Amino acid sequence: MGADFNLADLPPEILIHICHFLDAAFVRTVLSRVNRRLAQLVCDPIIWKLRISARWPSRYPPVTPDEPPWDWARACASREKFSNNWIKHETLKEKVKVRGHYSSVDTVLLLEHGLLVSGSRDRSLALWNVNQMEEDSGMKGGLIQKWADVHKGWVWSLSHDAGYSKTVISCGWDNTAHLWKLTNTEMILENSVNCTTALLCSDIHSESGTVVVGTFDKKVKMFDMRSAKPTVMAVKHHKMPVLAVAALPNSSFHMISASEDGTLAMMDRRTRKVIKRLHFDSFPMCMKLMDEGVNCLVVGDKSGGLHLIDANKMEEIKVLKNLHSNKITDIDVSMSGIVTTSSDKTVKILQPDMSLNPIATLQVEDIGDVVSVSMDNDCLAAGSSSELIQVWRPKIDRNSNEIQEQSN
């Protein structure tokens, strides 16, 4: 070959084969900058679709994404990093348990910049820095702010608008939804909305600014979080308390509610009428939409089963019975993976495709039932019935202060 050899001169099929042995993030962010031909090759979504299907043959994502087009390169890199890190979690992750509340931590929410919000039956909220948490440090290690009795009843739900408003919603048994402005270092209470009944769950439709909450008195309520004095609208389509809600993203006017009456109901927010209803043998406890414009709803039931729902058609496309030996208490979902928690004291991490194959099972010791979960690619946080929060985060070399997280 001699001195004139150039990697870019190789046939495309050879280049693609070589890239399959390289880290996806490296190919996407570094190799694409070598020259124009490699950049064109790396920008071809077919290359990344083939790479994903070679490693994970099951249909991914489970539901065809909405516009804009799915970013296959980012999905591949994110999924490979997530899978590899959690498969090797015993060597790549460290566990830390902290106590910031005096009762069950029924909701946790991981945010950007390493922030974590927790809500408890002790009526308080706490804001943490995950990277500064220290075991056996009481309420000092990593705690940024705490609001005691910010709700006058149990705090049941936290939801986040990651769009322009950077808003966190906290909902409680005191009938109130608090709206918090999120910065890089703190949360500031901006507004409070009285919904006249106990609130069990919440979600935000970012494009319209609509907050959707589910209530103990069997209703779904909605209000515009952009208004200084929001008007609360209510509909009743269930016979039992509403345990979970999901607002379909983008321009959709549809929202889905899950109830202890054993049904999922899709409603049009404009007409407030039910479009379609699904019935479950074991009632749905929790649910979460896959992100990035994929209207795939992941539902956990009281018997420990997991369901994939095509939210566009309101049809069940996959069910995994007995994933857990007890009820599924919470779910978090991304393009990289699915995480479930259960009263069986385990956290399960699954592939985000039609296989729902396991990536890892995390055993949770000495913190009671796991009742809430939140994740990102690097960290996972679980709230428990015993006042403790357990976090899995990248291991840190305390001497060099470098994160030992790997891409492979």
Instruction: Kindly state the average pLDDT of the residues 2-6.
Output: 60
* Sequence letter at residue 402: E
Instruction: Kindly state the average pLDDT of the residues 273-301.
Output: 93
Domain ranges of the chain: 2-79
State the sign of the Cα–Cα–Cα–Cα dihedral 21, 27, 30, 35.
positive
Evaluate the omega torsion of the peptide bond into residue 284 and state whether it is cis, within 30 degrees of 0: no
Instruction: Kindly state the average pLDDT of the residues 92-121.
Output: 92
pTM value > 0.75: yes
Nearest 10 degrees: CA dihedral of 16, 17, 22, 26?
0
Crossing angle of the two packed helices 45-55 and 72-87, in degrees rounded to 10: 30
* pLDDT above 80: residue 269: yes
109-159 pLDDT per residue, tens: 999 888 999 999 999 999 999 988 887 655 567 899 999 999 999 999 999
Which residue carries 């929202």 as its tokens? 255
Residue 49 pairs in a beta bridge with none
Structure tokens at 329: 């208490």
For the chain, give the mean pLDDT. 89
* pLDDT above 80: residue 399: no
d(CA 71, CA 312): 20
d(CA 355, CA 217): 37
Nearest 10 degrees: CA dihedral of 138, 141, 147, 153?
-50
* pLDDT above 80: residue 165: no
* pLDDT above 50: residue 374: yes
* pLDDT above 80: residue 365: no
194-228 pLDDT per residue, tens: 999 999 999 998 888 899 999 999 999 999 998 99
* pLDDT above 50: residue 404: no
Neighbours of 180 (CB within 10 A): 22
* Sequence letter at residue 120: S
18-66 pLDDT per residue, tens: 888 888 888 888 877 877 878 888 888 989 999 999 999 999 999 988 7
Percentage of the chain lying above the pLDDT 90 cut: 65
* pLDDT above 80: residue 407: no
* pLDDT above 50: residue 406: no
219-246 pLDDT per residue, tens: 999 999 989 999 999 999 999 999 999 9
Q: Which of 343, 340, 344 is nearest to 380 (CA)?
A: 340
Percentage of the chain lying above the pLDDT 70 cut: 92
- Between 140 and 398, whose confidence is greater? 140
- Between 400 and 115, whose confidence is greater? 115
φ, ψ of residue 245 to 5 degrees: the values are -135, 155
Q: Which of 147, 153, 161, 152 is nearest to 118 (CA)?
A: 147
* pLDDT above 70: residue 265: yes
CATH class (in words) of the domain with range 2-79: mainly alpha
Q: What is the DSSP letter of 343?
A: T
